[in-house]
Structure 1
Amino acid sequence: MTDTLTAEGLTIARGGRLLIDSLDLSLAEGSITALTGPNGSGKTTAAWCLGLYDLDFMGTVAIDGVASTHMSPRDIRRAHRTRIILQPQNLLLEDSWTVDATLRHAAWALGLPRRQRKPRASEALDRVGITQIAGSRTGLLSGGERMRVALARTLLMEEPRLVILDEPTAGADDELTSLVTDAMEEWNDASAAVLVATHDPGIIKRADHRVDL
């Protein structure tokens, strides 16, 4: 069976500095892999490249056996709408948008039918416990609330094949950490490959595999 994600000789340099040197990695479906290492070791950059959100790398990254070099920009965009989802460490929230608008825009970006966008957004907000702040602007929220918005947005994709989470529990309280781990288990049970860039000992302990940078 072809692994969901394979990387061979992944090499990444930024600003004249070598961050990742010939990394080989395989993520089987239904597995959780912790990507660990000190700050500055390249975890975030590697996560973006492995999800094909950043194509500035050498080596090969393949999704379900298809190398990125054999995928057109349209193919990659389609994969980001239907198979690959990334929750970035910096969250990438538009501060002037309300929480509800953020989720509904994400549902549109994922190509969900119009009639499904509002109920799916409402369901995701309910799952992470922030229905009561749906009308608030994200720029006015606490750090923990913003992280819940980002998690709700990630939960919108139906049946992802690859889920990439970048420091999803950094600074999180126990309740949010539990929400993240529960979501990871659900993706795992649904045969998605989950890659988590993290320092969290609990997440690392739960992972099936660990890759140190």
Structure 2
Amino acid sequence: MDDFLRVYFAGDLFNHKDLVGNLLLAEAIGEKSDGRFQCVLPQNMEQTTGRSIDIRNQDLLEVMRADLLLLNFDGTELDSGTVVEFIYAKSLDIPCVILRSDFRSGGDEEMGGNPWNLMCSGYPRTEVMTLNGMAWYQESYRSTDSTNAALDQLYQKLAVEVIARMEDVLKSPPLLPEDPAKAREIYRWGLSYPGRGVENLLSDSELDQLISTKRNKTS
């Protein structure tokens, strides 16, 4: 479908568990949404050079291109790259869904608050989904004798819940100015402040097209 929403999937991708889990959830989201939400996995993007700064720049550009972000906030300490991508998305008024399946608590918020550093909480156009990943896994594992069936059940269930949060956050009114020139100014600043070549990745005409396309898909 041509009007699918581009979802940047941010999170850990440094071991086989992260890589496989990211892939299974991304595919389940695409399937359960009938292709409406298509996840962009950084782990699947080809790196054109071996320079780490180019990897950073490519990821920031994909965040900017996204209609929505899905962020994995698992772990006793949040992945620093994921936090940077979250704040970058917020500076561009991109809707976000934060997913935490880690049942461990942490952070410095008041009782009943989010289980992470309070500086990552309270941003507009952001939905938070927390769950006990161990409990969900055991429920699926005990319901079937097949590993594949258990994984399918787990990720299909998770995808349905994530999709519901995505639909909810898309209903929140945008903060980005309606004036195309003002919107382009904000996006141009978003390309400028990271430095190190990001400012050269999109022309003004490409920015105008990107902003227009996003608005047409989510209006």
Same fold (TM over 0.5): no
Normalising by structure 1, we get a TM-score of 0.27
Q: Give the number of the structure whose alpha-carbon radius of gyration is greater.
A: 2
- More strand by percentage: 1
- More helix by percentage: 2
Normalising by structure 2, we get a TM-score of 0.26
